[in-house]
Amino acid sequence: MITLVFSACVAGQLVPCGCSPDQRGGLPRAVALVEKMRQRDPGLLFIDAGDLLFENPQRPPAQMLTQRQLKARALARGDELMQAAARGVGERDLTLGPQFAQETAGKVPLLAPGQSLLVREVGILAAAEPNDFAAAPELRKKGAKLVVALLHPRGDNAWTRAQAMLLQAREAGIDLAVLGRRDDPAVDGNLKEAGPPPLLAIEGHMQSLLRVEVHPGTGPLQLLPSAADRDAEVHGLQVRIERFRAQIELYPQRKAQLEQKIAELEGRQKGLGAEAPARPPPGAAWADAAFVPVTQEVGTVAAAQKLVDAYDEKVSEMNLAEAKTQPEACPAAARGELSYVGANKCAECHEAEAQFWQQTKHAEAWQTLVTVRKQLSLDCVRCHVTGWQQSGGVCRIDRTAAGEPGFNGHAVGRQDVQCEACHGPGSEHAVDDTGGHIKAEVTETVCMRCHEAANSPHFEYTKYKPFIVGPGHGEPLARGQEPKPRPGGPPQ
C-alpha cells in the first residue's frame, strides 16, 4: 500500500485569523496532523499540490510586502517540517517571481508545470495543460508504480478545467490527479470525481488535508466510495426530503405528488444504508481517499508554533518601526471627499444609538485583536478599527487610539467597529440639518467587507443583523425602555 497526504492552495494562510473560535486550518495543527499520520504509517509521502505562498498572484501593496514575504517564508519552512516530498508551483507561488519561490523552498523540490520527480516508486508531475503530461511515460520507465499529477489549469473555474484534462491524463498514464489551484480557497469545498483517473480537490487555507491510500494492482486506479461519501449522499437526500415536506404545507394541492417523491427519496436512503461497502475485483488497483479536517482538536507541534510565534513577533516589531516613519495623521480630505469624525461626534446627536452600540460585539473588536496579540498585524487591523487608511481615520498602526476618548473604554480614537465603519464617513452628515449624507440602511455587501468567508465562516446577514439592530438603534425605543441589544449573539 502507498499512503499519500496532500495539502493544496494554502494561499498565504499561516493560521486562521481567530475571529471565530472554531476556524479550521493553521500550520501548527497541520504539522501535528501529518506527524500523527506518519506515526501510524512511517512510509507516507506528504505532497504540497501548490499555491502555497501568497493570497493571490498580484504583487502585494508596498505597505504589506514585507509582512507577506515573512509569511511566505514561514509557510515554506512549514513544508520542510512536514517533510514534503515535493511542492507544485502555482500562480500564487510566483507572486514575487520564480527566484523567490526557489530561494524559500529549502530542501523541498519544486515542480513547475511540465516538471516531474520520482520518489520511492511514486512519480509526481505538475501540469497546467495536457502537454505537461508528457513526463508520465518517462516516470513509468524509471520504475514508478503510481503516477500523480498536480493540476494547475489556467483561467477561472479550476475544477471544471481540471475535469476537462482527465481524458488526456488517462491517455498519458496518469493514475491520480490532485487539483492544486482553487478559485476561492476560503469557500471552495472538498471534491471527488471517480475518473479514471480519480480527480480530487482539497479545500484551501489548510482547512483539510487529503489522505489517499493506494493499493497497486492491474487496470485503471479505482476510487472506492467511502463511508463519508455515503453519509454525505444520505444527508443530501434528507435535505431534499425536508424541502418537499415544507412544500406540502405551502402547496397542499400537490400533496400526493410530493409524498410520492418523498417516498422515492426515503427508499434511496434506505438502500444506501443497506448497501455493503464496495469491494474492488481481485488484483485490481484501487484507492481510498479521505478529507481530514484540520481542527483545534488535532493539537499543535512546538516547532511549528515557534515558527508562527517568531513570525508574529517579527511582524509586530517591523510594522511598529515602519509606522514611526509615517506621518502622524492620514492625509486631509480632498475637495468633495468625505472624512471620518469618530463615534464621539456621532453620539452628540445619537445618544441612544451610542449606548446600544457599546453593548454589541462591534464595541469589542479592538480588544479581540489585543487578546490574540495581533493589534500590530496589517492583515487584521483594518477590520478592527474605523477608517483605516482613510481621511479622518487612522493610517498608522501605532496611532489607533489617537483622537477622541470614546466611551467606557470603547471607540477610543478610531479603535473598534464604530458607527462610520458601517454607515460611512460622517463629516458632511455631522453638519447637515436634514440628516443626509449618510447610509442609514447597511447592506450585506458592506458587512462582507470584513465578514468574509475566511474570517467569519458562519456569517449570515439575516442572522447577524438582529444583534446589532434593535430598540435604540434602528428600532424605536418604547417609553421608559433602555437601549439594549437582544441577548446572546450569532455563531462566531
393-411 tens-digit pLDDT: 999 999 999 999 999 999 9
- Tell me, rounded to whole angstroms, the distance of Cα 207 from its chain centroid: 7
Q: How far apart are CA 460 and CA 156, in angstroms?
A: 26
Provide the residue ranges of all domains of the chain, joining segments of one domain with +: 2-224+278-306, 230-274, 329-475
In this prediction, residue 265 carries a pLDDT of 83
Sheet holding 208-215, edge to edge: 110-111, 84-88, 45-48, 2-7, 208-215, 284-293, 218-223
Average pLDDT (482-490) is 82
Residue 492 has pLDDT above 70, yes or no: no
Single out the residue of 440, 432, 425 nearest to residue 390, CA to CA. Answer: 425
pLDDT, position 227: 66
Q: At what angle do helices 227-250 and 255-274 cross, to 10 degrees?
A: 170
The alpha helices in 82-208, defined as continuous H runs, are: 98-104, 136-141, 158-164, 166-172
All cell numbers assigned to 128? 497546467
User: Could you identify the residue written with the cell 480530487?
Assistant: 200
State the virtual CA torsion across 70, 74, 76, 78 in degrees, nearest 10. -170
| % residues pLDDT > 70 (the chain) | 97
| Cβ atoms 28, 36 nearer than 8 A | no
The alpha carbon dihedral of 363, 365, 369, 371 has a sign of positive
Q: What angle do CA 45, 51, 55 make, to 5 degrees?
A: 140
Side chain identity at residue 91, one-letter code:
E
pLDDT band at 471 (very low <50, low <70, confident <90, very high): very high
pLDDT, residue 274, reads: 65
Helices and strands of the chain, counted as H and E runs:
15, 15
For residue 107, the tally of other CB atoms under 10 A from its CB is 8
Work out the average pLDDT over 469-480.
91
At 38 the pLDDT is 96
Following DSSP, what letter does each residue of 378-433 receive, concatenated?
TTTGGGTBSSBTSTTSB-STT-TT-S---BTTBS-TTBSS-HHHHH---TTGGG-T
- Label residue 133 by pLDDT band (50, 70, 90): very high
pLDDT averaged over the chain?
91
Kindly tell me if the per-residue pLDDT of 316 is higher than 90. yes
Torsion of CA 52, 31, 104, 158, to 10 degrees: -10
Task: Give the C-alpha separation, 96 to 116, whole Å.
Answer: 23
Least confidently predicted of 50-64, 70-84, 125-139, 453-467: 453-467
Q: Look at 110-119, 151-160, 225-234 and tell me which has the smallest mean pLDDT.
A: 225-234
269 or 224: which carries more pLDDT confidence?
224
Does CATH place domain 2-224+278-306 in 3.60.21.10? yes
Confidence band for 491, pLDDT divided at 50, 70 and 90: low
Kindly tell me if the per-residue pLDDT of 264 is higher than 90: no
Predicted pLDDT at 314:
94
Which pLDDT does position 41 carry in this prediction?
A: 93
CA-closest candidate to residue 382, choices 449, 435, 296:
449
Would you say residue 68 has pLDDT above 70?
A: yes
Lowest mean per-residue pLDDT among 70-79, 282-291, 421-430, 453-462: 453-462
Q: Is the pLDDT of residue 381 over 70?
A: yes
What confidence score (pLDDT) does residue 275 get? 64
Query: What pLDDT digit, counting tens, does each position of 341-375 carry?
Result: 999 999 999 999 999 999 999 999 999 999 988 99
Q: What phi, psi does 41 have (nearest 5°)?
A: -140, 85
SS3 content of the chain, % helix, strand, coil (to 5): 40, 15, 45
Q: Which residue has the higher pLDDT, 239 or 289?
A: 289
pLDDT band for position 332 (cuts 50, 70, 90): very high
| Cα-based distances in Å from 149 to 117, 122, 128, 129, 154 | 11, 11, 10, 11, 15
Residue type, 114: G
Q: What is the mean pLDDT of residues 305-332?
A: 92
- d(CA 301, CA 36) in angstroms, rounded, equals 10
What secondary structure does DSSP assign to 287-335, as a single string? Answer: EEEEEEE--GGG---HHHHHHHHHHHHHHHHHHHHHHTTS-SSPPPPPT
Q: How confident is residue 276, by pLDDT bands cut at 50, 70 and 90?
A: low
Spatial distance between the Cα atoms of 33 and 22, rounded to a whole number of angstroms = 17
